[in-house]
A and B are shown apart, each in its own frame.
Chain A
């Protein structure tokens, strides 16, 4: 689907000015700062960022999955299918989870209960949310396992998680997530623990299921390559902030934020000849305990000027650099955005 077709789709998720600060031994962690984005039905939003940039805290907070003790401050609104959900009670939230919104986490083993059979775990939401009988739920479970590519599902259904490979377990987790036909799937690093060959199979499976079910998806990853060909829109996070957001083709064709550009240029490419010198980013991502004033990327940014160290750049619309992209589709948070397309973007 092109971004324009998406314009017709109804809004599924509308996140506004989400800010989350967590308690920690070393002080307040500014994990998510003023993040806003929208997701339409059937759309995939890829969220990319390095370790510690706030992706998981953001994803978990959408579903109120952060423990109450650890959250020191939470601001902003989360509207799902027209309904404000950030202030729901735990009981109401539980009804949403699994039914309307499902989540997949990085480590498939922790998501499954080691002492329960696959059947029990997949049919639980079917019985709970859809009110299926035990027998019907079992039948539906086998169909679901089949749909996520587990061979010999009728027999596998009575096995335990440890009897399955990592890739199989992640398929089971996906089957559980899809059980009640959620409108929104939040996949937090669904393939990071898996081998490349399995990663491809799982991502293909997610894309296929998503298209069939017209599900909205938040695909969270630290790998720009994973979202490049899978996401309709890509959001880049740095130090808890959303620094750039654009349709995938626009982002790769005309990235504006210096961090996006630096990240893109630092990744070794299969098409480059051997021993090509990599364009490393100096320094390392900042700690989130004592955010210094100014742009968080400034200490590492080759374009930084005086102003960058004093003021925090707000999220603004990119001036359209290519004719086809509407300005509203491309956002960035930088005082001095790069204008050229990233080197290596085309060749």
Chain B
């Protein structure tokens, strides 16, 4: 792949021919009053065919903004979004809309993202009608059945007659109707009851197999992300901190922020109650994204910060592998699939 002069290829991008989605130097700024919020700043990552990439980080770190920027909703301020090598940011009008059907997004709040006045049948067929694809009826039935809805029983009802879990099934059916290659899920289960959450997560895994989907999965629940993802990307204040195989990142976090996130997960073991008050791995509050700290954005809260961290922004570097076998190491000839942006990785 050719690079623009002056911009090097970020280390974490993989040189493979099965990369479906590749984001390069993505930045998204928002004007809020007189200020500019850097919601996403120079972020690069890629997703290979059939892979699920988990995207995690605290509220406001820019996860949804990345998802929306991929869909060009709105197009990013800078950077590229390459879908099978084609930069979506350079497309517009008809060409963009045609290409974009191959990417679908499902949103956090299943109920409010459905039009209350339309019948379930029409909601699921929404995209198909716009494109006038043939054999609409049978496709609608097929995807409804695939997500566990009985077309004869539900097709003529409206969203308000359904529970949150069922609404999420409808959203998933709608996104699958156009036979997308990439599915971006923005917190697909966080509005759901715990007992229904597992149904939807299993359904997403089934759909991924059945329709050979490539997925970007945004969530703040780290156990959920661990379950569904092959790779995980950790964001902090608009920046990518760490990316790598899920097993590797969870077992050996290299970024102090990733370590703090993982250490915050509530322990399901009642016997661990006396161990929870360890050293603080994180202090203070999230700084304003309108005025991020110089150098490393995490430095104001990092227990390991040193003078260099304020002066120089840390670049992505490969995480040294330990003796243990990496579950994902056979992917290519690459030595490491785990990268961190920190001057003093753990």
Contacts and interface: CB of A to CB of B under 8 A. Distances in A.
Verify that A and B bind, or say they do not.
yes
Interface of A: 50-51, 151, 165-168, 195-197, 199-201, 203-204, 207-208, 222-226, 228-231, 248-249, 251-252, 262-263, 266-270, 272-282, 284-285, 300
Interface stretch (B123-131, B137-145, B258-266): B258-266
B122 to A, nearest CB: 24
Nearest to A196: B264
B301 to A, nearest CB: 9
Contacts of B226: 268, 270, 272, 274
B193 A278 contact: no
Contacts of A165: 285-286
12 contacts: A196-B222, A196-B261, A196-B264, A200-B276, A207-B276, A224-B194, A229-B273, A268-B198, A275-B228, A280-B201, A281-B195, A281-B198
B7 interface: no
A278 B227 contact: yes
A279 B227 contact: no
Interface in B248-299: 250, 260-273, 276-277, 280, 282, 284-286
Contact of B224 (A200, A229, A268): A268
Given A165-B285, A225-B267, A226-B266, A195 B58 contact: yes
Ranked nearest first, the 6 interchain pairs of A and B with the lowest CB-CB distance are A225-B266, A280-B198, A248-B270, A278-B198, A268-B227, A266-B198
Contact of A228 (B165, B221, B269): B269
B193 A284 contact: yes
A197 B264 contact: yes
Interface of B: 58-59, 163, 165, 193-199, 201-202, 205, 220-224, 226-230, 246-247, 250, 260-273, 276-277, 280, 282, 284-286
Contacts of A223: 194, 266
A197 B261 contact: yes
A196 B227 contact: no
Contact of B227 (A199, A228, A274): A274
A270 B195 contact: no
A263 B280 CA distance: 31
Nearest to A222: B194
Contacts of A277: 202, 205
Given A165-B285, A225-B268, A228-B268, 6 more contacts: A200-B263, A268-B226, A269-B223, A269-B268, A280-B198, A285-B195
A194 B276 CA distance: 18
B264 A200 contact: yes
Please indicate which of the listed interface residues B58, B195, B220, B221 has the most CB atoms of chain A within 10 Å of its own CB.
Answer: B195
Nearest to A253: B270
B58 A197 contact: yes
A196 B247 contact: no
Given A165-B286, A195-B59, A267-B223, A274 B229 contact: yes
Contact of A252 (B201, B228, B269): B269
Contacts of B272: 229
A38 B221 CA distance: 33
Contacts of A249: 270-271
A256 to B, nearest CB: 16
A50 B194 contact: yes
Contacts of B58: 195-197
A255 to B, nearest CB: 12
Please indicate which of the listed interface residues A266, A273, A276 has the most CB atoms of chain B within 10 Å of its own CB.
Answer: A266
A244 to B, nearest CB: 14
Nearest to B231: A274
B202 A204 contact: no
A151 B272 CA distance: 29
Please indicate which of the listed interface residues A201, A230, A270 has the most CB atoms of chain B within 10 Å of its own CB.
Answer: A270
Given A165-B286, A195-B59, A208-B277, A266 B195 contact: yes
B273 A274 contact: no
Contact of B268 (A50, A168, A207, A267): A267
A228 B273 CA distance: 8
A208 to B, nearest CB: 7
Contact of A280 (B202, B223, B264, B280): B202
Contacts of B261: 196-197
Nearest to A208: B277
A226 B226 CA distance: 18
A199 B267 CA distance: 13
Contacts of B277: 204, 207-208
Please indicate which of the listed interface residues A223, A229, A282 has the most CB atoms of chain B within 10 Å of its own CB.
Answer: A229
B270 A197 contact: no
A282 B168 CA distance: 15
Contact of B284 (A151, A222, A279): A151
A282 B198 CA distance: 9
A224 B194 CA distance: 10
Contacts of B197: 266
Contacts of A230: 273
Given A249-B270, A252-B270, A270-B226, A279 B193 contact: no
Contacts of B223: 267-270
B201 A263 contact: no
Please indicate which of the listed interface residues A50, A165, A197 has the most CB atoms of chain B within 10 Å of its own CB.
Answer: A197
Contacts of B284: 151
B268 A224 contact: yes
A248 to B, nearest CB: 4
A285 B195 CA distance: 8
Nearest to B274: A229
B280 to A, nearest CB: 8
Contacts of A274: 226-230, 246-247
A228 B163 contact: no
Contact of B266 (A229, A248, A278): A229
B267 A278 contact: no
Contacts of A203: 266
Contact of A266 (B194, B228, B262): B194
A79 B193 CA distance: 32
Nearest to B224: A268
B37 to A, nearest CB: 16
Contacts of A167: 285
Contact of B269 (A168, A199, A229): A229
